[in-house]
Chain A
Amino acid sequence: MNDSVQSVDPETCFLTLDEFARLFEVLISRGYEVIGPTIDQEAIVYGQLSSIDDLPRGWTDQQEPGKYRLVRRDDNALFGYVVGPSSWKKQLFPPVSTLARADRTEEGWQFQEAKEETPRYAFLGVRACELAAMKIQDRVFTGGPYVDSIYEQRRSQALVIAVNCTQAASTCFCTSMETGPRCKAGFDLALTELPDGFLVEVATAAGAEILSDLQTMKVSPEQDTQANAARQQAVDQIERRFDTTDIKDLLMSNLEHPRWDDVAERCLSCTNCTMVCPTCFCSSVEEVSDLTGDHVERQRQWDSCFNLDFSYMNGGLVRNSIRNRYRQWLTHKLATWIDQFGTSGCVGCGRCITWCPVGIDLTQEVNAIRESES
């Protein structure tokens, strides 16, 4: 997967539903572990798939601040939902990974890298906002002087099959963040779902190779029109608008704004927003020792700036209130992220709004600060 080999005008073809069903065996026979949407614990999450039957056929999600529900559709759409609580971050930046090992020998401590086999993933069903999130995490983990090798290896081996959104949730605001809903770059294949199959855009040689194992058809003008209409439906359904004009200066010049106290009254500091966010990358390292204490693994786990001890230093906490922790999260995501990585940390997927137990909506928090300025 490389931007440079992606042609400007991607080749397009049509895949019938039956051929699409064969995609799973093609991917698996080529050594890929297929990860995609499936229903688990009353939500559409990304998990390992073995066949088309694992997809959430005929289900959709209803989302609003603090609420997520699965609802039956009146058709058999396979990708007729928006986004769930999981993102591809879980595969590329695992919630738990072993970084290094220490072993006590007669000559003292010996240190070595923890060699883990890198899974070869085929991501099926990546949304435009999630492609944007991957691109952001590429910068975070591989764009600086120090590279996270776990992320880098998983990422470089992953095949990305995107699926264009054909509907939107009330929490979506990708159009404001200019990340979607149309998948434009960063994929090997991009699908648009139609009632009898998929329109496929082929962007890379790796994508073309997968398709060469399947029977594809020429796209008819009707199918093309249908696909355009389906994608336009997602655009039309996005109602949420988020004004990001000068957002960095707006937030950084309002670090003592009373709105931070206001949101702190509602925020539970539960970390949900950071866990579901497809770009949040904070982590902590723990020591995992055997009973003798002679063999120790350094284990990295996702952490959150909402956790109380995240800013622990010299026997105290730097961010000792929910106000300070919410302010850190929001200003990092929307303002200082731009200084650090040349991009916003927000892709407009709306997960943090949906999965906040009290329905805090970051777009509203920023709007409140903006309105007080004018």
Chain B
Amino acid sequence: MNSTVGKQAEKSDSIWVAKTAVIHEIAAEVSGVATYQLSLRDAAAAQSYRFEPGQFNMLYIPGAGESAISMSGDPADCGTLAHTIRLAGNVTRSIAALKVGDTLGLRGPFGTSWPREDCRGKNVILVAGGIGLPPLRPFIYQLLAQRDEYGSLHLLYGARTPEMRVYTREYDRWRAEGLEIRETVDRSSPGWRGNVGVVPQLLERLTGFDPAETILLICGPDLMMRFTARAALQRGMTSEQIWVSTERNMQCAVGLCGHCQLGPEFICKDGPVFRYDQISPYLKVEGL
């Protein structure tokens, strides 16, 4: 009937079947957040596994279900695959009960990635809110690995409290390698000397970059991304220079189950990374 029938059947076999992944290491990040280093048990699958920064995997606990988790490790090193997980829902709480050596299922990688080519020769500003930093970390590694191919590099990071900031142990190294980091928190705590306030303010105050020669990448809650994008537009950037990573309920991860739709987009396969002009008309509609 359809010309694609048959021809793509081979591809389809593995859509729903997870691969066995072994927990190699568990590192607590902040309260309720931990990074799981996973390795695929099948040697050939582990060998051939590659991902692009911004993509995600479906992690599967039989009996509990699947959860979409962004890759948070270095794409140049797929020996183990880092997943920074907020232990909040049914599936992630089941993951929290696992220990090193335990197995779980993994499908992926899925989705679109951060626009590396667009960033070449440009200033890059990464804006993250809370647990929005993990999906950006692979790109930070990638940018810093070829630092001289980019202009200024900024990370603007907002967390609820100073204690909720993830990956702080890496900041000194990132700074040394040429990433400027500005931070803000919603609520201060004793010893915090940094900013208090929302993330978009960091962008409003940022100096020393030419907006016309800058790419902005945002990952965080919908509202935070909209306000950050608005601040960028006010600084003279265009929607074509802004990229966001969106989140919706994902089940199949391949655009077949319908759950993750936002307007015409299937977040799982058309996203999660979108150029802002493509997704903003829908992102700003409440309850779409």
Residues of A within 8 A of B (CB): 1-4, 99-100, 102, 104, 107-113, 134-135, 138-149, 152-153, 155-156, 186, 252, 255-256, 281-287, 289, 293, 296, 298, 300, 303, 305, 310-315, 318-321, 323-324, 327-328, 331-332, 335-336, 339-340
Contact A108/B6 with A100-B16, A293-B63 known, Cβ cut-off 8 Å: no
Contact A281/B256 with A155-B1, A327-B288 known, Cβ cut-off 8 Å: yes
Please name 8 further chain A to chain B contacts, defined as beta carbons within 8 Å, in addition to the given A1-B1, A108-B20, A149-B12, sorted by A numbering. Answer: A143-B2, A146-B12, A148-B12, A281-B258, A282-B257, A282-B258, A285-B66, A314-B88
Contact A287/B62 with A146-B11, A148-B12, A311-B249 known, Cβ cut-off 8 Å: yes
The main secondary structure of chain A at its interface with chain B is mixed
The main secondary structure of chain B at its interface with chain A is loop
Q: Mark B36-63, 1 if CB is under 8 A from A, else 0.
A: 0000010000000000000000001011
9 contacts between A and B (CB under 8 A): A2-B1, A108-B41, A111-B20, A139-B2, A252-B281, A283-B257, A289-B63, A313-B248, A319-B287
Contact A109/B105 with A298-B16, A318-B287 known, Cβ cut-off 8 Å: yes
Shortest CB distance A161–B (Å): 14
Q: State the CA gap A100–B287 with chains docked (Å).
A: 33
Contact residues in A for B102 (Cβ distance below 8 Å)? 108
Partner of B4, one of A102, A104, A111, A147: A147
Contact residues in B for A145 (Cβ distance below 8 Å)? 11, 254, 269
On whether the beta carbons of A289 and B62 are closer than 8 Å, the reply is yes
Contact A313/B15 with A110-B20, A283-B257 known, Cβ cut-off 8 Å: no
Residues of B within 8 A of A (CB): 1-6, 8-9, 11-20, 22, 41, 60, 62-66, 88-89, 102-105, 247-249, 251-252, 254-259, 261, 263-264, 266, 269, 281, 285-288
Contact residues in A for B104 (Cβ distance below 8 Å)? 109
Contact residues in A for B11 (Cβ distance below 8 Å)? 145-147
On whether the beta carbons of B261 and A332 are closer than 8 Å, the reply is yes
On whether the beta carbons of B263 and A310 are closer than 8 Å, the reply is no
On whether the beta carbons of A310 and B259 are closer than 8 Å, the reply is yes
On whether the beta carbons of A336 and B261 are closer than 8 Å, the reply is yes
Q: State the CA gap A300–B255 with chains docked (Å).
A: 14
Which has the most chain B C-beta neighbours within 10 Å: A139, A140, A298?
A: A298
On whether the beta carbons of B263 and A111 are closer than 8 Å, the reply is no
Closest B residue to A4 using CB positions: B3
Top 5 nearest A-B pairs (CB, nearest first) are A108-B103, A282-B258, A339-B264, A324-B287, A146-B254
On whether the beta carbons of A3 and B1 are closer than 8 Å, the reply is yes
Shortest CB distance B272–A (Å): 12
Contact residues in A for B62 (Cβ distance below 8 Å)? 102, 104, 109, 287, 289, 293, 296
Contact A318/B256 with A113-B13, A147-B8, A339-B264 known, Cβ cut-off 8 Å: no
Q: State the CA gap A289–B281 with chains docked (Å).
A: 42
Shortest CB distance A91–B (Å): 14
On whether the beta carbons of A285 and B65 are closer than 8 Å, the reply is yes
Contact residues in B for A323 (Cβ distance below 8 Å)? 287
On whether the beta carbons of A109 and B103 are closer than 8 Å, the reply is yes
Closest B residue to A156 using CB positions: B5
Contact A310/B8 with A104-B62, A108-B41, A135-B1 known, Cβ cut-off 8 Å: no
On whether the beta carbons of B288 and A111 are closer than 8 Å, the reply is no
Contact A140/B256 with A285-B251, A319-B287 known, Cβ cut-off 8 Å: yes
Contact residues in A for B64 (Cβ distance below 8 Å)? 287
Shortest CB distance B262–A (Å): 8
Contact residues in A for B22 (Cβ distance below 8 Å)? 108
